[in-house]
Every structure is written in C-alpha cells, then in structure tokens.
Amino acid sequence: MNFLNVTELDHVAYVKLNRPDVRNAFNPQMIQEITQTFHELEHRKDLRVIVLQGEGKSFCAGADLNWMKEMVNFSYIQNREDSLVLFNMFEAIARCTLPVVGMVHGAAFGGALGLIAVCDEVIAEEGTQFCFSEVKLGIAPAVISAFVARKAVAGKVRPLMLSATVFNAHIAQQAGLVTEVVPAGEGHTALQKVVHNYKQCGPEAVRETKKLLNDIGNMTWEQQRDRTTHLIAERRASAEGQEGLKSFLEKREPSWRN
C-alpha cells in the first residue's frame, strides 16, 4: 500500500500524506516513501515547486500508535537506527533543491512539526492545532529539533517544545514555523498564489539559492566570501542569468515564464 499520493500539474509536484484514517501519522513505510520520493523529485529538472500536504482532516498526527507500541520494546541500538532513518527523511526534504511549500490544516503534532520545519514556506489554515507533544510522553523532540532550530525563533519555540503546549497557527507564525495564516478552507487559493510566485523565477537560480541558504550557516567568513562571489559571477554568466538580465532590460518576459 502506498502511503503517499504524488501528482503533478504544470511543473508542480503535489506530495500528499495518504493515511487519513490515522490522521497521516508516520510509520516506517511512510517514512521510507517520503525519503525516496524527495530523492527522486530532486533530480527532476522539469519541476519548479513541491507542495507537501495531508489527506483528510489533518496534516499529520506525528508517530503512528502501532509504531510507538513497537518502540517500547526496542533496544538502544534499534532506537538509534530507527531515529537515523527518521532524521534522513527530514534531511531529504531539507536538502532538496526545489522549493518545498507546506499546506497545513487540522492538526500538526510531534514529528509533523519536523515536516513543517523543513518546508521553505508554510501556509496554515485557521483552526489548525500544533503541538510538540513528545515531552508529555517522557521522550524528547530530539530528531526534529535540529531542523526546528534552523528555522524557528528560539525565544518563541523553546517554551513550546519544553511544555508540550497546544498552540494555534498565529503562534506558529510568530515562532517562525508558519509563513502565512489563511481562513479555513482558503488554503488552496493561497497556495496557488505562492506557487505562481516561484514559477515566475529562474528555476536554476531558485535551486542555487536554496543550496546556498542550506550551506551558508556552516561556512567560515572566508568560505562565505568565496562561495557567494563565485555564485553571483556564475549566475550572471549563465544562460539563464543572461536571459533574465536581457529580458529585464528589454522589458519582456523571460523564457522560463512561457
């Protein structure tokens, strides 16, 4: 059984979590499918954007109950290996050079916050509930913390992670997890506007910019100098950069918008 529904339309890949009967909770098979799907989409030069969303009433409820029952009997080594697989899933999304837009509704608990953290832009509908629920179970939001810390405002998200408080979309936006909050039922309209914005941009430029943003925080000042000056020189001289600059000066649409 496939736990993802992947469709494509107008150079956009729509990746939908497809376990609505359990509110799209993770299990090992879904984790494997998500990882594989993003590795495959990464190499698709015809795509411009990936949209990540959930089928049914909720975006994602975190870990599957049956999977959690199995974890109770895991050894330390088994838990470590299991956690590495989960980390690799989040990393596959985060390192994907295509922009990833999250469309969140209903609820996003536990590991779902990790999915949100690795999206480049997140639209959340009013009424969506969020929770870093791990500490209520005596565990920790450990794997997702590496990705949440890169995106969220530390002073806003720390108490949410430490207290497992249920919070709304506006608090998620203040914490830096959500980009835009829209009325319930209007997520699709907002999503199309966001997707349109990405498709206006040079596809190679978007990918190279995402690579840079992923890497620059781990660079020394000298490495940042070398990487950034090389990238702008390379982009200006590239076919896409030349087309973009010429179309701007000639007051016409660049070729990638046709």
pLDDT digits (tens, 9 = 90+) for 9-43: 999 999 999 999 999 999 999 999 999 999 999 99
Number of domains in the chain: 2
Among residues 199, 217, 245, the one where a domain terminates is 199
Among residues 199, 219, 245, the one where a domain terminates is 199
Strands (E), the chain: 4-9, 12-17, 49-54, 100-104, 107-109, 121-125, 129-131, 167-168, 180-182
> φ, ψ for residue 21 (rounded to 5)?
-65, -20
Residues 79 and 173 in one domain: yes
Among residues 160, 184, 199, the one where a domain terminates is 199
Residues 159 and 250 in one domain: no
pLDDT for 1 beyond 60 = no
Structural domain span for residue 219: 203-257
Residues 177 and 252 in one domain: no
- pLDDT the model gives residue 65: 83
Q: Which of 81, 70, 75, 121 is nearest to 98 (CA)?
A: 121
Residues 147 and 220 in one domain: no
Confidence band for 136, pLDDT divided at 50, 70 and 90: very high
pTM: 0.96
Residues 118 and 68 in one domain: yes
| pLDDT tens digits, one per residue of 196-245 | 999 999 999 999 999 999 999 999 999 999 999 999 999 999 999 999 99
What residues pair up with 109 in beta bridges, in sequence order?
A: 131
